Structure 1
Amino acid sequence: MSGLLALLDDVAGIAKIAAASVDDVMGQAVKAGSKAAGALIDDAAVTPKYVHGFAAARELPIIWRIARGSLTNKLVYLLPAGLLLTSFAPWLIAPLLMVGGLYLCFEGAEKIAHAIMPHDDQSGGPDGSHAVGDPTHLEEEKVQGAIKTDFILSAEIMTIALAAIPPSTFWMEAATLATVAVMITLLVYGSVALIVKMDDIGLWLAQTGQMGLTRSLGRGIVKMMPVLMRVLSTVGTAAMLWVGGSIVVHGVGELGWHLPEEFIHRIAVAVADVVPETFHAAAEWVATAAMDGVLGVALGLILIPVGTRMIAPLWGAVFGGEKPSAH
């Protein structure tokens, strides 16, 4: 009997350790995932465009295919690569983060330039065409294009998450990174599915609602969706520029050049000093984010000709076709 009780006590101890490990993994995953806010919001803002022009019945299957490809990108390719970097070349993480930050700056500035400069409103979705032709072939093209674009964003997300995970055992880091991958994929593509179907939900409520309030709610949802998409796109662009700029500033500091980081910090503290003490922390954060964002715009504008005239043709030569664009 005493042996059985001892065994049960050991099992209970192991269960507590396992529960604590799960809590640690989840806590680290949430903190690491939150660092990738800019890429997350942009991913959620861009992906709905890939189902534009398809029948409503194909929207969720297309999103599911893209989500599955995104999870494959993260778990099969990027997670092992990230763990290998951590084990054998940790010095590469900061430069890779900076490359990802510069990519975010480029994408954000490209969106601003696209909004300001004259362009063809009939150019359509990410493939640049409204012509459906063969719907099956077009769907395959759009899904593959979305997965390629997701690979870039996922690489940035996973690198940011990897850098945010505190040093631990190999398996703890692997479990945390895998949790981040699954959690972020569910969050992004669950949100995308909801966004894409919200107008259908609103239309259904407007047509079948038994009460006037329900029908009004449905009509309001239908009218609200274009505004929501514009707001989401704007917030996503701002977040990309802020996160991209902050990654570059922090990265050059990690490499030994602390002047940009110290300059931004001094200005932010000076701004915080002119507001009531209660709002010091918020004012310093807003000032820092604003300066990081302005830097992100400047870097992105410099990178636009580099990306469009050098990297895009190289991408096309390697993968076939032009680099998938957020436009």
Structure 2
Amino acid sequence: MNQEIQLVSRPEGMPTANNFKQVDTDIPSLKEQEILVKSIYISVDPYMRGRMVDRKSYIPPFALNEAITGGVVAQVIETKSDKFNKGDYILTSFGKWQQYQTVKEENAMKLPDLDVPKSYFLSALGMPGLTAYFGMLDIGEPKEGETVVVSGAAGAVGMVAGQLAKIKGAKVIGIAGSDEKTRFLEEELHFDKTINYKTTPNILNELKEACPNGVDVYYDNVGGEISDAVISLINHKARIPLCGAISSYNKLEDYGPRLQGMLITTSSLMKGFIVSDYADQFEEATKQLAMYMMTGKLKFKETVVEGFDKLPEAFIGLFKGENIGKMVVKVGEPE
């Protein structure tokens, strides 16, 4: 037997366990140029919250009463593809919250033989790492001596983005939501300064103290009041990569200040992006991230939850700040 987890109702506000259902299904039959895989790690990501709403976006919404889709690291069990052998490990961005599933050969990438956990291809060497890489280096373009602020800095994207800015010689300030996270950023990843936004009485005053020369690059993962405060301190020709707005994903209404005047008077760039904008550069970027990791310039931490039935719980935990680094769910053992 096979199992899958479906979205059965659309969340209003914070998702709950009632929005999901675990269903017994058959193991799918294999067609030509497909592989049958056993899921080992499944990714849960904040962007998935947006796909639970039935509205127009850059990617279609999840259908109700069907398995949720996302990133999966899996092992090939059977193959009708000349490109993959039984036992190979693959990454697919078109995976499903299923224990066993079929994948078209063009939607799977064989994992390179690197001395890192396989789950890293869902995190530092996968979509989050690539998101950090292109947002920080292509849009942010940090330079030596500049001041870079990263919100959501202890998340999967934020911790990589901050380290890339450090590699370029910038001063990096990270904003996170617990003392454990801020200690990790300073002690393990060597961020220059961190701010716990949940305990500081005035985040704007904290930012002014941490950034006496203003802000040159703001890597925005969260939006909301934190971003309002950071953007009020931007310098002439600052760059603001807009990666996410997790603070508002579960809000029914969200309002903020008007930023056009600030952007005009500082001649600053604010640019939204999604990682697929850079799909033709993924291979080279992955090699660069792997090189940084192999040489010790890039460190990473994951929060691994065990158990296929824990997928909804892990996903909801993203919005409660329960993860440091990438949240992944280990759903199976290799055969």
Bin the TM-score by the shorter chain. Answer: under 0.3
Bigger Rg, structure 1 or 2 = 1
Specify which structure has the higher proportion of strand. Answer: 2
TM-score, L = length of structure 1: 0.22
Structure with higher RCO (Cα < 8 A, 6+ apart) = 1
Specify which structure has the higher proportion of helix. Answer: 1
TM-score, L = length of structure 2: 0.22
